């Protein structure tokens, strides 16, 4: 299968409708960990709902409006990343992430998002990559900050998750900033 290496034994891979049964089992495994933050942790409950979710992203990808990837550790699904939105015309996309509790703390998502931002900006010519997270979701916020995203503000109570309404903090990375940061990292400045 096509994949992008993230760390020894860990890779970023396609996640497609034919993998619905495996994805449903993975969601069962991560449900409790994701439940406070991610709506689909409450709605994917079997292979059928898993397939519908994966099919939605396959359809978005076919229209070039979104994408979904899995993160595998030693071959086992351990999380994933997505372009939740992808607007070629405006040059704006939003990245999302999740991990199994057992895969947290190894830099896998930071590495995956770095590769996605490289692709979005270098290959697809995106101008702005967004990161949205409730400001109390400290691990998610830390990923955006570790990658150098800039905090812009908060949309209050905008994101419903299982009967609660989360705030949506917005962080962004602009293409020029990404190029500058990468050049600085390469020259050790």
Ligand X SMILES: CC(C)(COP(=O)(O)OP(=O)(O)OC[C@H]1O[C@@H](n2cnc3c(N)ncnc32)[C@H](O)[C@@H]1OP(=O)(O)O)[C@@H](O)C(=O)NCCC(=O)NCCS
Return residues touching ligand X (CB under 6 A).
Answer: 33-34, 37-38, 97-99, 104-110, 133, 137, 139-140, 142-143
**Residue 161 vs 174, nearer CB to ligand X:** 161
Task: Give dist(CA 28, CA 32) in Å, integer.
Answer: 8
**Residue 37 vs 149, nearer CB to ligand X:** 37
**Residue 92 vs 104, nearer CB to ligand X:** 104
173: enclosing H helix or E strand: strand 164-174
CB 95 within 8 A of CB 117: yes
**Residue 91 vs 107, nearer CB to ligand X:** 107
To the nearest whole angstrom, how small is the minimum distance from the Cβ of residue 123 to ligand X?
Answer: 22
To the nearest whole angstrom, how small is the minimum distance from the Cβ of residue 74 to ligand X?
Answer: 16
To the nearest whole angstrom, how small is the minimum distance from the Cβ of residue 82 to ligand X?
Answer: 10
Q: Tell me the HSE value of 94 on the side-chain side, using a 13 A CA sphere.
A: 10
Which two tokens mark 75? 């071959």
Helix, strand or coil, per DSSP, at residue 45: coil
Handedness of CA 45, 51, 54, 60 (dihedral sign): negative
To the nearest whole angstrom, how small is the minimum distance from the Cβ of residue 75 to ligand X?
Answer: 18
């Amino acid at each position: 299968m096509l994949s992008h290496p993230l760390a020894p034994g860990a890779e970023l891979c396609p996640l497609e409708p034919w993998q619905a049964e495996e994805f449903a089992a993975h969601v069962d495994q991560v449900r409790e960990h994701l439940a406070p933050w991610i709506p689909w942790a409450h709605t994917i409950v079997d292979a059928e709902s898993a397939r519908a979710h994966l099919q939605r992203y396959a359809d978005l990808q076919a229209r070039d409006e979104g994408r979904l990837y899995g993160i595998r550790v030693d071959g086992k699904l351990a999380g994933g990343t997505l372009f939740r939105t992808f607007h070629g015309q405006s040059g704006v996309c939003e990245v999302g992430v999740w991990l199994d509790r057992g895969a947290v703390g190894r830099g896998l998502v930071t590495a995956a998002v770095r590769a996605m931002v490289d692709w979005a900006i270098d290959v697809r010519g995106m101008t702005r990559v967004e990161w949205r997270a409730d400001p109390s979701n400290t691990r998610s916020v830390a990923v955006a900050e570790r990658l150098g995203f800039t905090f812009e503000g908060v949309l209050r109570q905008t994101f419903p998750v299982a009967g609660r309404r989360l705030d949506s903090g917005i962080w962004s990375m602009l293409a020029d900033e990404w190029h500058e940061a990468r050049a600085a990292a390469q020259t050790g400045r």
